[in-house]
């Protein structure tokens, strides 16, 4: 420790923020969809956000392997794709629950009780309401995330459950939602 | 009593009005497009001949239409900057990345009347010789994207889009491009970068003005959803009739998103400048007033980045008297006409026309902490002052709302914000600084009281002495 | 020659259009157009105008050889523009001068509307206030922001002493920080690639390295992950940052975020003596600075020369210096008589004996294998000796793969010199076979070898045993030096002066950085003696005199002098 060289010269690899998914397999249907998306743009690279959406829709998150595949498809370097996955918060870097609950935390929703709603949902699912970032319940059923403005400020608080949009959500509504999702199960 | 004036929202929420093509056609849809495509070259007094597209551009300019996205810049003027001699294709992008906290107007159009937008876009593309256009939809609108996609397919299948539109020889395709949760994509050059498949880092201007070096370094027009819808009405009504709506220099109608502590939050379309802030908040057909037993504390008048007003503020505004003379008169906050120029004259802006109302139950330090957290999260991180300053302010406010406020924090925040505004590539610098500057300016008493309170408590807990930071 | 004349005529024909702007109260005339990072003329920026005026504008992300990013905001300056009336004519002061409006924020006229000098074009009558209070305040603000999350670990940072964050903090910063929040933490000591270590907490996100590797090298290997204040420079984990130009990012990095594994913790930079030199790893001849201390070379860095290497050099060339300080360097003259082992000798004896032997040699019985790594002066002297002796000459061919940026397929630094001096009379490598034959049949009895191990050229050690007299000048021991009758220890280029002529005909001189080991001597010195003894050549006392005489002798070099080469060299027609 006394010689700074001794402890600081030990270099370490950069950690990949994305989870690995060795079984990543691309279906013919996804291949075709990606070709269609590429055809929408004069330059291939433009398709990358849309392709990421398609991949996430099918696999639930963006894995290291999918980034390699996407960058190959679009003649990009994998870092070009990683830059986007980590910039645009809708892209998941790790597997998440079957139901992704996004609760809007920005001002109008906060004025309308979003923090109380978020805390309630977290408590119901055994999650920490004060933790940062996305959290997934132990049973991998729910992921809860406090997100920025969902553009439904007039019907605060707003919430999304996967792609389903819910407005004026009360704690009772939230309980019902959790109940319904559990009923549907896996 | 002031009334709504539904031009864009005319059909929206009417019973029986659905978002499919057949319904849109039954309600007079795509008539404006036919009209636009049918425009014949016109001889001008000076002997020049004006083409149909040129006539549309002139009409839009003459209508006085100002952008509905946030900056309120003249749409006609914006189009006139487009480099039409570069030999490169011209692109049009509809900015449907509605993300300014408080704003939820474009969502209504996308979900409930997508063909109105498409018609406005096709006319605008025809007017500007655009052959390929995109709708940049924010990622959190998956349903909106699906509805739009279906509407585009319908339009394509029925000759309103694609090759040889309505037999005019004009070809156009429009594709949907989805964002993925980045507020900065609302900034037009950030949006362009995002559409190019990159991180949405706004571009330096000069040299990258979209009208000259936009998408793929080609001339590009970026217009808001609502703005493009207005183009359709400018064509239907004619510029002079359209310009009679609203007030001079603030023509047409605008959809106002009203949220926060009012009884009737929602979206209301008004003639620009014909309704006051107070009426929007209190009139029974608009906000319907505050919740029972509550009084007004503050108004954010144009989306979260606009500067906040404190209830009871009086402004000196220019007013034209009956004799035609312009004089400065005292105007109460609630009597400010809701338009572009008056709100600017009062030191704020109409921005994305989103009003957030706060009543006396609101903790202003907490409210600002909420907004600052938003801006810290959304800063793209490109420019030093905004990247570092936005998180700095958010951390400071987090500390202040968790028992660690200091007396000097009002100045601390103010200086940090002042070091950001006007010193960044894009207007996000202002967007994150203005709430801080204005909250601190208008509610300095609350910020300082918080500091005193926390310092006293800390001193008593540590048995006197200097409170720890 | 004709091309050069044409170019000159062209530049005379097109007068440079000028524009007058005001920098810090002084009127300056600057060209309307100035080169961008590619050398293409584009509208002159405020920063360039300030440079013309001799005013430095601090900056981090701007680099003259990279596309402009405009993100650091350090070069923000207050400025004014002539006021225009409604009639679009300038409004004048009482004295007739144009009235200038200082640009302020429209929504807060107490604050300047600064412009980034790196990207804002000048306009007629513009006034740039590069040192005004408002400009200084903007700089202070940017520096404050850059420092709040910086680890401030200067005592153990390699960049200390050449860090722009340190320099500008001294010049433009504040002594105390207002920041009382917790800093953002990011990855440290990241193994970015085989030659680079990254400290993300020190990184100021200027993107110079990202732009360099993407836009200059064409290896889009670096990028930023995360967002806002959490932005983090990285490569794609598992895909090392490993092209042949990675170490340039260390030079480009204005702070200590990117460091060279080779140089890390080796030396505080302020102890380094910098010597102008030229890289000898290929025929491009990149201009370099050698950093040395107490006779030891610690690093090479590229030195800007737009006619040769811009601001860059390849990693291979940069790291090709360790041999200079090797322990087993040849330090003494060795003499071997007959089959006896080599014994330590003395320079005067060795040179006298060599001179005598060569003077006695039958014309045609001597061959010389020189090296295109030798200096032009050395090759010229060797050529004189060869001509006098009627010796066959050749050099070793070194070829590799060229790249698009700097690396030339010819890995010899002075093939052009070998040709122009007349040392090579044929294409390099063409005479080797004849020399081998001559050795085998015994027609060649004396062999002079300079700086090459000729056992790699098809001349076996066994064959060398049959040579009457093998004279070798070398730097490091090898199979050829082991057989030498006279072994003359020479100098690395870092230990002497001389010139090299690159593949495009750029004549460049290099300076001495460190002392040679033991009794090693610069080759030109003893070649000078041999040439005088054998060819009756003038005895030069200095490299300057030698070069100037050579320049008169070799037609393409006519008119050049040692001093006229300057630091950047001169391109000749070849």
Average pLDDT over residues B238-263: 96
Instruction: Chain B: list its partners (3+ Cβ pairs within 8 Å).
Output: A, C
ipTM: 0.94
What Cα–Cα distance (Å) separates residue B150 from each residue in A182, B145, B146, B147? 32, 9, 6, 5
Going by pLDDT thresholds of 50, 70 and 90, the confidence category of residue B464 is: low
Least confidently predicted of B246-250, C49-53, C172-176: C172-176
User: CB-based contact (8 Å) between C402 and chain B?
Assistant: no
C397 and C292, same structural domain?
no
| pLDDT tens, position by position, B75-93 | 999 999 999 999 999 999 9
- As a residue count, chain A comes to 186
CB within 8 Å: B387 and C108:
no
Q: What is the CATH class of A28-87?
A: mainly alpha
Which of C282, C299, C325 marks a domain boundary? C325
Instruction: Write down the pTM of the prediction.
Output: 0.94
List CB contacts (< 8 A) between A88 and chain B. Answer: 139, 179-182
Q: For residue B263, is pLDDT > 50?
A: yes
Q: Is the pLDDT of residue B465 over 70?
A: no
Q: Where are the alpha helices (DSSP H) in B128-263?
A: 142-157, 188-195, 210-213, 225-237, 239-244
Q: Are B373 and B119 in contact (CB under 8 A)?
A: no
**Of the candidate ranges B176-180, B245-249, C133-137, C263-267, the one whose mean pLDDT is the lowest:** C263-267
Query: pLDDT tens, C225-281?
Result: 999 999 999 999 999 999 999 999 999 999 999 999 998 877 778 889 999 999 999
| pLDDT, tens digit, 9 for 90 and up, residues A21-37 | 999 999 999 999 999 99
Q: Domain check: are C39 and C82 in the same one?
A: yes
Does C160 reside within a domain?
no
Structural domain ending residue among the three candidates C325, C347, C363: C325
* C347 shares contact with chain A (CB less than 8 Å): no
> Does domain A99-184 match CATH 3.40.30.10?
yes
Q: pLDDT digit string (tens) for B213-232?
A: 999 999 999 999 999 999 99
Note whether residue C7 is domain-resident: no
Total domain count, chain C: 3
Instruction: Report, in angstroms and rounded to the nearest whole number, the Rg of chain A calculated over CA atoms.
Output: 20
Distance in Å, alpha carbon of A135 to nearest chain C alpha carbon: 18
Interface B-C, measured as beta-carbon pairs within 8 A, has a size of 104
Question: In terms of domains, do C224 and C93 share one?
Answer: no
> What's the pLDDT score for residue C162?
86
Distance CA B111, CA B140 (A): 13
Please determine, for residue C6, whether its predicted confidence score (pLDDT) is greater than 70: no
Tokens 């090797």 identify what position? Answer: C326
Of B404, B204, B172, the closest CA to residue C120 belongs to: B204
Which 164-223 residues of chain C touch chain B by CB within 8 A?
A: 178-182, 184, 204-205
Sequence-distant (≥ 6) Cβ neighbours of residue B332 within 8 angstroms: B278, B312, B313, B314, B315
Burial letters for B396-423: b for 16+ Cβ neighbours within 10 Å, e otherwise? bbebbbeebbbbebbebbbebbbbbbbb
Please, what is the average pLDDT of chain B? 95
Between chains, do B387 and C73 touch, taking CB under 8 Å as contact? no
Nearest-5° Cα angle at A181, A179 to A185: 110
C259 touches chain A (CB under 8 A): no
**Are residues C208 and C131 located together in one domain of the fold?**
no
| Residues in chain B within 8 Å Cβ distance of A48 | 197
Q: Write the pLDDT tens digit of every residue in C268-318.
A: 788 899 999 999 999 999 999 999 999 999 999 999 999 999 999 999 999
pLDDT at A186: 59
Beta carbons of A121 and A174 less than 8 angstroms apart: yes
pLDDT score for A7: 47
B197 to A48: CB separation less than 8 angstroms, yes or no = yes
Q: Give the CA count within 13 Å in the CB-facing half-sphere of A115.
A: 10
Q: In terms of domains, do C257 and C321 share one?
A: yes
Which contiguous run of DSSP H or E holds residue B444? helix B444-461
Tell me: the pLDDT tens digits for C191-221? 999 999 999 999 999 999 999 999 999 999 9
Q: Are residues C498 and C543 in the same domain?
A: yes
Within 13 Å of residue A132, how many CA atoms lie on the same side as its CB? 2
Of C204, C196, C193, residue with least CA distance to C231: C204
User: How many residue pairs bridge chain A and chain C with CB atoms within 8 Å of each other?
Assistant: 70
Of B182, B206, B430, the CB nearest to C120: B206
Domain boundaries, position C102:
18-145
Residue from B126, B147, B134, B59 nearest B97 by CA: B134
Residue C371 shares a structural domain with residue C312? no
User: Could you tell me if B350 and B301 are in contact, meaning their C-beta atoms sit under 8 angstroms apart?
Assistant: yes
**Does the distance separating the beta carbons of A154 and B257 come in below 8 Å?**
yes
Please enumerate residues of A whose Cβ is less than 8 A from a Cβ of B. Answer: 40-43, 45-50, 52-53, 74, 76, 80, 83-84, 87-91, 102, 105-108, 110-112, 147-156, 160, 163, 165
Buried residues in C214-235 as b, exposed as e (16+ CB within 10 A): bebbebebbbbbbbbbbbbbbb
CB contact under 8 A, A108 and B178: no
Tell me if A41 and B175 make a contact (CB, 8 A cut-off): yes
Mutate to test the interface with B, among A101, A111, A113, A147 (most CBs of B within 10 A): A111
- Closest CA–CA distance from residue A9 to any residue of chain B (Å): 29
What pLDDT was estimated at residue C190? Answer: 96
Based on the domain organization, do C339 and C314 belong to the same domain? no
Domain-embedded: residue C311: yes
Residues of C in contact with A14 (CB under 8 A): 187, 190-192, 198, 234-235, 237
Are residues A14 and C234, on separate chains, in Cβ contact within 8 Å?
A: yes
Q: Are residues C472 and C340 in the same domain?
A: yes
Say how far residue C501 (Cα) sits from the centre of its chain: 14
Domain ranges of chain A: 28-87, 99-184
B423 vs chain C: nearest CA distance in angstroms?
7
Burial bucket for residue C566 (CB in 10 Å: 0-12, 13-18, 19+): exposed
Best residue in C188, C203, C236 for a mutation probing chain A (most A CBs within 10 Å): C236
Find the angle CA(B264)-CA(B266)-CA(B270) to the nearest 5 degrees. Answer: 105
Are C247 and C380 within one domain? no
Identify the pLDDT of residue A10. 85
Residue B469 has pLDDT above 90, yes or no: no
Q: Round to whole Å and give the CA distance between C458 and B267.
A: 89
Regarding whether C556 and C514 lie in a shared domain, the answer is yes
* Predicted confidence (pLDDT) per residue in C56-90, tens digit: 999 999 999 999 999 999 999 999 999 999 888 88
DSSP codes, C123-152: -TT-EEETTSHHHHHHHHHHHHHHHHT---
The interaxial angle of helices B225-237 and B31-38, nearest 10 deg, is 70
What distance in Å separates the CA atoms of residue A135 and residue A141, rounded to the nearest whole number? 11
- Establish if C227 touches chain A: CB-CB under 8 angstroms: yes
- Confidence grade of residue B258 (pLDDT, cut at 50, 70, 90): very high
Contact A12 C190 (CB under 8 A): yes
A156 and B98 within 8 Å at the Cβ level: the answer is no
Cβ–Cβ gap B383/C71 under 8 Å = yes
**Chain A, nearest residue to C263 by Cα:** A9
Residue C237 sits in a domain whose CATH number is 3.30.70.20
At residue C206, the 3 state secondary structure works out as coil
pLDDT at A8: 52
Asked if B420 and B196 touch (Cβ cutoff 8 Å), the reply is no
CB-CB under 8 Å, C189 with A17: no
- Name the CA dihedral angle for A85, A86, A88, A91, rounded to a multiple of 10 degrees: 50
User: What pLDDT is recorded for position A9?
Assistant: 62
**Percentage of chain C exceeding pLDDT 90:** 89
Helix (H, G, I), strand (E, B) or coil at A110: helix
Number of CB atoms found within 10 A of residue C272's CB: 21
CATH number of domain containing C76: 3.10.20.740
Percent of chain C with pLDDT over 70: 98
> Burial code of C143-161, b = ≥16 C-beta within 10 A, e = fewer?
bbbbbbbbbeebeebbbbe
Structural domain ending residue among the three candidates C124, C145, C166: C145
Question: How far apart are alpha carbons B188 and A145 in whole angstroms?
Answer: 28
C285 and C405 housed in the same domain: no
- Structure-token pair, residue B189: 């050059």
The residue among A104 and B464 whose pLDDT is bigger is A104
Mean pLDDT over B370-382 rounds to 97
| pLDDT of A1 higher than 80 | no
Q: Which residue of B has its CA nearest to C203?
A: B384
């Amino acid at each position: 420790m006394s010689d700074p060289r001794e402890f600081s010269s030990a270099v370490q690899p950069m950690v990949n923020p994305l989870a690995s998914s060795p079984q990543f397999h691309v279906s013919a249907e996804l291949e075709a969809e990606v070709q269609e998306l590429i055809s929408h743009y004069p330059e291939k690279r433009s398709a990358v956000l849309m392709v990421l959406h398609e991949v996430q829709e099918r696999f639930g998150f963006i894995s290291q392997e999918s980034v390699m595949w996407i960058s190959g498809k679009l003649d990009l370097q994998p870092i070009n794709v990683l830059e986007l996955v980590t910039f645009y918060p809708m892209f998941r870097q790790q597997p998440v629950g079957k139901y992704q609950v996004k609760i809007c935390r920005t001002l109008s929703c906060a004025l309308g009780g979003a923090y109380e709603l978020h805390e309630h949902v977290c408590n119901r699912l055994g999650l920490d309401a004060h933790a940062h970032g996305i959290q997934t319940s132990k049973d991998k059923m729910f992921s809860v995330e406090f997100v920025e403005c969902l553009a439904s400020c007039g019907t605060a608080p707003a919430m999304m459950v996967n792609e389903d949009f819910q407005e004026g959500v009360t704690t009772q509504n939230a309980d019902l939602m959790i109940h319904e999702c559990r009923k549907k199960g896996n | 009593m002031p009334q709504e004036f539904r031009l864009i929202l005319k059909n929206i929420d009417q019973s029986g009005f659905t978002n499919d093509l057949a319904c849109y056609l039954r309600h007079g849809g795509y008539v404006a497009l036919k009209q636009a495509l049918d425009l014949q070259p016109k001889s001008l007094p000076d002997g020049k001949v004006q083409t149909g597209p040129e006539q549309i551009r002139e009409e839009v300019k003459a209508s006085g239409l100002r952008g509905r996205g946030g900056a309120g810049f003249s749409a006609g003027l914006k189009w006139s900057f487009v480099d039409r001699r570069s030999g490169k294709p011209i692109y049009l992008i509809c900015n449907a990345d509605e993300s300014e906290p408080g704003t939820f107007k474009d969502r209504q159009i996308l979900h409930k009347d997508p063909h109105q937008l498409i018609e406005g876009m096709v006319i605008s593309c025809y007017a500007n010789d655009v052959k390929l256009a995109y709708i940049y939809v924010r990622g959190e609108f998956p349903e909106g994207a699906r509805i739009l996609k279906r509407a585009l397919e319908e339009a394509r299948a029925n000759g309103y889009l694609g090759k040889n539109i309505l037999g005019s020889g004009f070809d156009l395709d429009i594709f949907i491009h989805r964002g993925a949760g980045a507020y900065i994509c609302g900034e037009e050059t950030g949006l362009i970068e995002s559409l190019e498949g990159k991180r949405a880092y706004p571009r330096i201007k000069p040299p990258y003005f979209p009208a000259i070096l936009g998408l793929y370094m080609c001339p590009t027009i970026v217009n808001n959803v609502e703005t493009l819808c207005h183009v359709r009405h400018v064509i239907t009504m004619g510029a002079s009739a359209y310009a009679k709506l609203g007030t001079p220099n603030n023509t047409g109608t605008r959809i106002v998103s009203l949220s926060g502590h009012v009884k009737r939050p929602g979206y209301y379309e008004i003639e620009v400048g014909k309704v006051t802030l107070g009426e929007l908040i209190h009139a029974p057909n608009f906000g319907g007033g505050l919740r029972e037993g509550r009084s007004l504390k503050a108004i954010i008048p144009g989306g979260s980045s606009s500067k906040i007003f404190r209830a009871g503020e009086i402004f000196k505004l220019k007013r034209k008297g009956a004799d035609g003379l312009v004089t400065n008169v005292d105007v109460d906050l609630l009597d400010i006409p809701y338009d572009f120029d008056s709100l600017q004259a009062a030191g704020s802006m109409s921005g994305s026309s989103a009003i957030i109302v706060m009543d006396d139950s609101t903790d202003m330090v907490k409210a600002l902490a909420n907004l600052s957290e938003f801006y810290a999260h959304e800063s793209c991180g490109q420019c030093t002052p905004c990247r570092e300053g936005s998180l700095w302010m958010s951390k400071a406010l987090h500390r202040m709302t968790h028992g660690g406020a200091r007396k000097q924090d009002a100045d601390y925040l103010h200086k940090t914000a002042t070091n950001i505004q006007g010193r960044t590539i894009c207007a996000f610098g202002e967007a994150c600084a203005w709430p801080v500057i204005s909250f601190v300016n208008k509610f300095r008493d609350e910020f300082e009281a918080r500091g005193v309170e926390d310092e006293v408590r800390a001193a008593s807990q540590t048995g006197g002495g200097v409170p720890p930071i | 020659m004709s091309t050069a004349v044409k170019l000159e005529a062209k530049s005379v024909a097109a007068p440079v259009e000028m524009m007058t702007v005001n920098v810090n109260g002084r009127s300056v005339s600057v060209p309307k157009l100035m080169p961008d990072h590619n050398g293409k003329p584009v509208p002159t920026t405020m920063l360039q105008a300030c440079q013309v005026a001799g005013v430095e504008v601090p900056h981090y992300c701007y680099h003259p050889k990279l596309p402009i990013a405009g993100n650091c905001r350090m070069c923000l300056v207050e400025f004014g523009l002539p006021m225009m009336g409604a009639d679009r004519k300038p409004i004048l002061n009482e004295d007739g001068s144009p009235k200038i409006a200082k640009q302020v924020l429209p929504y807060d006229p107490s604050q300047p509307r600064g412009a980034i000098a790196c990207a804002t074009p000048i306009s007629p009558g513009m006034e740039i206030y590069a040192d005004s209070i408002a400009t200084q305040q903007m700089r202070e603000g940017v520096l404050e922001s850059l420092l709040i999350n910086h680890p401030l670990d200067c005592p153990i940072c390699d960049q200390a002493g050449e860090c722009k964050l340190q320099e500008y903090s001294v010049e433009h910063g504040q002594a105390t920080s207002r920041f009382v929040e917790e800093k953002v933490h990011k990855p440290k000591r990241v193994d970015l690639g085989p030659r680079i270590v990254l400290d993300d907490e020190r990184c100021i996100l200027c993107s110079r390295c990202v732009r360099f590797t993407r836009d200059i090298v064409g290896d889009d290997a670096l990028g930023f992950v995360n967002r806002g204040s959490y932005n983090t420079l990285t490569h794609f984990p598992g895909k090392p940052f490993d092209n042949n130009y990675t170490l340039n990012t260390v030079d480009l990095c204005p702070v200590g975020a990117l460091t060279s594994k080779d140089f890390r913790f080796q030396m505080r930079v302020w102890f380094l003596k910098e010597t102008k030199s030229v890289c000898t790893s290929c025929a491009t001849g990149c201009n370099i600075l050698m950093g040395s201390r107490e006779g030891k070379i610690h690093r090479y860095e590229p030195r800007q020369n737009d006619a040769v290497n811009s601001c860059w050099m390849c990693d291979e060339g940069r790291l090709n210096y360790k041999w200079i300080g090797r322990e087993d360097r040849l330090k003494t003259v060795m003499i071997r008589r007959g089959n006896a082992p080599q014994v330590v000798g003395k320079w005067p004896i060795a040179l006298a004996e060599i001179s005598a032997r060569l003077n006695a040699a039958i014309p045609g019985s001597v061959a010389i294998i020189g090296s295109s790594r030798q200096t032009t002066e050395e090759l010229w002297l060797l050529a004189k000796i060869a001509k006098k002796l009627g010796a066959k000459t050749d050099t070793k061919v070194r070829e590799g793969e060229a790249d698009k940026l700097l690396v030339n397929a010819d890995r010899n630094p002075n093939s052009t010199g070998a040709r122009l001096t007349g040392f090579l009379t044929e294409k390099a490598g063409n005479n080797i076979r004849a020399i081998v034959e001559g050795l085998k049949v015994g027609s060649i009895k004396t062999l002079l070898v300079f700086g090459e191990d000729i056992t790699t050229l098809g001349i076996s050690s066994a064959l060398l045993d049959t040579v009457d007299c093998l004279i070798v000048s070398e730097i490091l021991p090898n199979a050829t030096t082991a057989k030498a009758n006279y072994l003359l220890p020479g100098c690395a280029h870092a230990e002497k002066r001389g010139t090299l002529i690159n593949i495009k005909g750029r004549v460049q001189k290099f300076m001495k950085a460190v002392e040679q080991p033991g009794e090693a001597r610069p080759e030109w010195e003893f070649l000078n003696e041999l040439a005088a003894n054998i060819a009756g050549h003038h005895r030069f006392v200095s490299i300057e005199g030698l070069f100037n005489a050579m320049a008169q002798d070799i037609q393409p070099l006519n008119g050049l002098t040692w001093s006229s080469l300057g630091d950047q060299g001169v391109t000749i027609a070849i």
